[in-house]
């Protein structure tokens, strides 16, 4: 069996992944552009932080070695360890730029079969070595960074070697897919079958199916099936207590759903190795439109009407004035609602007209020139969306805090939530950094009963104190969300960074149940310690 990813062989070698920042090295902004960008933010540093070379950095010595039987899977090369030290949150990027590699894993393991996953877990369980499952490392919540300081060693288990679509059931529109496949390679393998998973998170290029499943990722689409959860038929998960393979059926009422325990388990209960996923026919009909609103609250009411209409737009993204201006979709202090509809087999113009009509009925002004302008607006926004993390990294180099967080709450609380977050964050930034923050908001997903607002904060920080300052801002955000009964995350997962908010919102009996489940499946306590739950006290190391 040829184990090379078809997509990789078709497209030639991929550009090198950045070890410190988002995506690939070739797309990082050069120093001059970083400086130009920084100049737009009052109080930003005048020169970019240099990108350190890995060879120049102090990395702790590797404390463990794998047994010879696993030797071919593991690496202690500095570039592997450096690239697997952090996720890609703002605070991760800044720490990497400052050359702090203290949390580096001792080893990076790259299994290419499920058997090899099992072998690594077996060894690690006996050797008191923590295992951090690692898809493509796009976590923005400390999900792949070991911090427990309790184990004899730490292995980052990079799963991107499990990168193939193994089976396609065209009749049922489903496929059995290995969990380490990256978004583009997954879609490349489905395209010849006329099918798509149609799950496009912002991290699409640099995240894996298994990562999406483990973190309950949200896709690009705004309504109906927003999270990957709903696209799962069944999963295979390697736990230290055995392989968990759920039944592949379209629906079941037989006890609590096994998959729902592993969806969102973030590598704490097992390693997802493959899944049967529900697919869709590739859309042949698409249309989009942009509608402008003078007031954000008016726009919220329009979006609510749309979300409760049963029309299920593929896209229903509301940008507040700041967000709309940044994305060059709207100017003049107006909010912009980007609507999109798609269908494989049926024309969509009628549905789009209904949606625009609803928006107009609720005070919206559709973009004047119809299809072409609307498509341009949507396209402009999409390019900006994908470029955003690279701009974030460029700003980080200018000591500008540029970070996002997201949440969800019901419609009755939404206007208050958005207002409170804006006010509290601006106040905290002023107090913490002494500068004025830009706090923008968009809705990324909408439901009949509520929506998921996504906030962007940009503010100059004091060089050298960026992480501490951001942590203060984030703590204030978490406090507001908790006080108003909004979730600490709609689709970025919990990891280690969201633990305070998660611990507050998680019901205590469920915490007991989850802890008991983890103890049953991972008795040695090696799987991603500190994520979701506090690491269990160590038994005597036996390895």
| Distance of closest approach, residue 73 Cβ to its own copies, in angstroms | 23
What's phi and psi for 455, nearest 5 deg?
-110, 140
Contact 321, 335 (CB under 8 A): yes
Q: Is 262 in the site for its own copies (CB under 8 A)?
A: yes
| Distance of closest approach, residue 204 Cβ to its own copies, in angstroms | 16
**Selected binder of its own copies within 346, 368, 369, 372 (CB under 8 A):** 346
| Distance of closest approach, residue 487 Cβ to its own copies, in angstroms | 4
Q: How many chain residues bind its own copies (CB under 8 A)? A: 94
User: Can you tell me the distance from the alpha carbon of 181 to that of 171, in angstroms, rounded to the nearest whole number?
Assistant: 23
Q: Is 331 in the site for its own copies (CB under 8 A)?
A: no
Rg of the chain's alpha carbons, rounded to an integer? 23
Q: Is 532 in the site for its own copies (CB under 8 A)?
A: yes
In this complex, which beta carbon is closest to its own copies, that of residue 173 or of residue 387?
A: 173
**Where are any strands of DSSP class E within 391-541?**
400-406, 409-410, 438-447, 450-460
Find the part of the chain contacting its own copies (CB under 8 A) among 33-41, 146-154, 462-470, 488-496: 488-496
Nearest to 393 by CA among 141, 95, 75: 95
- Taking residues 372 to 411 in sequence order and writing x for each that binds its own copies by CB under 8 A, - otherwise, the string is ------------------------------------xxxx
Q: Is 525 in the site for its own copies (CB under 8 A)?
A: no
Q: Is 54 in the site for its own copies (CB under 8 A)?
A: no
Q: Is 489 in the site for its own copies (CB under 8 A)?
A: yes
- Return binding residues for substrate: 392
| Distance of closest approach, residue 469 Cβ to its own copies, in angstroms | 25
| Distance of closest approach, residue 243 Cβ to its own copies, in angstroms | 7
User: Can you tell me the distance from the alpha carbon of 496 to that of 535, in angstroms, rounded to the nearest whole number?
Assistant: 11
**Selected binder of its own copies within 130, 263, 330, 441 (CB under 8 A):** 263
| Distance of closest approach, residue 84 Cβ to its own copies, in angstroms | 23
Q: List binders of its own copies among 443-482 (CB under 8 A).
A: 445, 447-452
Q: Is 344 in the site for its own copies (CB under 8 A)?
A: yes
**Selected binder of its own copies within 255, 332, 368, 540 (CB under 8 A):** 255
Beta carbons within 8 Å of 412's beta carbon, 6+ residues apart: none
Contact 408, 450 (CB under 8 A): yes
Helices 371-397 and 90-97 sit at what angle, rounded to 10 degrees? 40
User: Can you tell me the distance from the alpha carbon of 413 to that of 2, in angstroms, rounded to the nearest whole number?
Assistant: 53
What tokens does 202 get?
A: 């912002």
| Residue 454 annotated to the active site | yes
What kind and span of H or E run contains 371? helix 371-397
In this complex, which beta carbon is closest to its own copies, that of residue 257 or of residue 465?
A: 257
User: Can you tell me the distance from the alpha carbon of 481 to that of 151, in angstroms, rounded to the nearest whole number?
Assistant: 33
Q: Is 322 in the site for its own copies (CB under 8 A)?
A: no
Beta carbons within 8 Å of 192's beta carbon, 6+ residues apart: none
In this complex, which beta carbon is closest to its own copies, that of residue 104 or of residue 168?
A: 168
| Distance of closest approach, residue 420 Cβ to its own copies, in angstroms | 16
In this complex, which beta carbon is closest to its own copies, that of residue 148 or of residue 353?
A: 353
Find the part of the chain contacting its own copies (CB under 8 A) among 96-104, 131-139, 142-150, 303-311: 303-311
What kind and span of H or E run contains 300? helix 296-307
Q: List binders of its own copies among 352-371 (CB under 8 A).
A: 354
- Taking residues 426 to 445 in sequence order and writing x for each that binds its own copies by CB under 8 A, - otherwise, the string is -------------------x
Find the part of the chain contacting its own copies (CB under 8 A) among 19-27, 53-61, 319-327, 494-502: 494-502
Helix (H, G, I), strand (E, B) or coil at 481: helix
Q: Is the dihedral angle over the CA atoms 262, 264, 269, 272 positive or is it negative?
A: positive
- Taking residues 78 to 117 in sequence order and writing x for each that binds its own copies by CB under 8 A, - otherwise, the string is ----------------------------------------
Given 90, 146, 390, 454, the catalytic residue: 454
In this complex, which beta carbon is closest to its own copies, that of residue 163 or of residue 266?
A: 266
Beta carbons within 8 Å of 56's beta carbon, 6+ residues apart: 99
What kind and span of H or E run contains 293? strand 285-293
| Distance of closest approach, residue 301 Cβ to its own copies, in angstroms | 10
**Coarse DSSP helix, strand, coil percentages of the chain, rounded to the nearest 5 percent:** 40, 20, 40
What tokens does 476 get?
A: 């204030």
Helices 349-361 and 296-307 sit at what angle, rounded to 10 degrees? 140
Q: Is 40 in the site for its own copies (CB under 8 A)?
A: no
Q: ∠ at Cα 399 (396, 405), nearest 5°?
A: 50
Q: List binders of its own copies among 168-207 (CB under 8 A).
A: 169, 171-174
Beta carbons within 8 Å of 116's beta carbon, 6+ residues apart: 70, 73
207 torsion bin: left (phi>0), alpha (psi -120 to 50), beta (else): beta
- Return binding residues for FAD: 133-139, 266-272
Catalytic residue annotation: 454
């Amino acid at each position: 069996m040829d184990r090379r990813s078809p997509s990789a062989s078709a497209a030639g070698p991929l550009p090198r992944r950045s070890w410190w920042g988002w995506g690939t090295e070739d797309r990082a902004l050069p120093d001059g552009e970083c400086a130009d960008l920084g100049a737009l933010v009052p109080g930003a540093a005048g020169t970019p932080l240099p990108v350190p070379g890995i060879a120049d950095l102090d990395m702790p010595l590797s404390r463990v070695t794998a047994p010879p039987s696993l030797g071919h899977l593991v690496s202690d090369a500095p570039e592997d360890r450096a690239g697997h030290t952090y996720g890609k949150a703002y605070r991760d990027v800044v720490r990497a730029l400052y050359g702090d590699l203290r949390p580096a894993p001792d080893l990076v393991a790259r299994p290419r079969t499920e058997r090899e996953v099992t072998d690594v877990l077996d060894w690690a369980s006996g050797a008191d070595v923590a295992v951090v499952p690692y898809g493509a490392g796009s976590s923005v919540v400390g999900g792949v960074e070991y911090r427990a300081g309790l184990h004899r060693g730490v292995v980052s288990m990079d799963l991107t070697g499990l990168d193939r679509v193994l089976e396609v059931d065209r009749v049922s529109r489903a496929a059995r897919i290995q969990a380490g496949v990256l978004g583009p390679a997954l879609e490349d393998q489905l395209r010849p079958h006329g099918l798509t998973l149609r799950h496009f998170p912002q991290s699409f290029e640099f995240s894996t199916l298994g990562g999406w499943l483990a973190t309950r990722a949200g896709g690009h689409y705004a309504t109906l099936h927003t999270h990957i959860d709903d696209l799962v038929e069944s999963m295979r998960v390697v736990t230290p207590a055995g392989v968990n393979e759920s039944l592949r059926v379209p629906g079941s009422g037989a006890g609590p759903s096994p998959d729902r325990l592993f969806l969102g388990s973030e590598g704490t209960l097992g390693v997802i190795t493959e899944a049967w996923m529900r697919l869709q026919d590739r859309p042949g009909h698409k249309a989009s439109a942009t509608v402008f609103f003078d007031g954000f609250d008016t726009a919220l009411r329009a979006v609510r009407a749309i979300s409760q209409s049963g029309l299920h737009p593929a896209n229903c993204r509301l940008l507040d004035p700041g967000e709309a201006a940044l994305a060059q979709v709207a100017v003049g202090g107006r909010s912009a609602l980007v609507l999109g509809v798609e269908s494989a087999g049926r024309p969509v113009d009628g549905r789009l007209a209904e949606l625009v009509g609803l928006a107009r009925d609720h005070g919206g002004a559709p973009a004047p020139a119809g299809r072409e302008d609307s498509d341009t607006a949507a396209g402009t926004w999409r390019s900006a969306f994908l470029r955003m993390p690279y701009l974030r990294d460029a700003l980080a180099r200018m000591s500008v805090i540029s970070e996002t967080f997201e949440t969800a709450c019901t419609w009755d609380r939404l206007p208050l939530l958005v207002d409170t977050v804006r006010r509290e964050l601006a106040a905290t930034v002023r107090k913490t950094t002494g500068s004025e923050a830009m706090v923008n908001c968009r809705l990324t997903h909408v439901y009949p009963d509520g929506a998921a607002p996504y906030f962007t904060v940009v503010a100059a920080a004091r060089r050298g104190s960026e992480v501490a300052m951001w942590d203060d801002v984030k703590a204030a955000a978490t406090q507001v969300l908790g006080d108003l009964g909004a979730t600490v995350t709609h689709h970025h997962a919990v990891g280690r960074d969201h633990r305070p908010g998660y611990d507050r919102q998680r019901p205590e009996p469920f915490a007991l149940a989850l802890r008991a489940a983890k103890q049953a499946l991972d008795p040695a306590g090696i799987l991603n310690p500190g994520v979701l739950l506090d690491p269990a006290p160590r038994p005597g190391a036996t390895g």
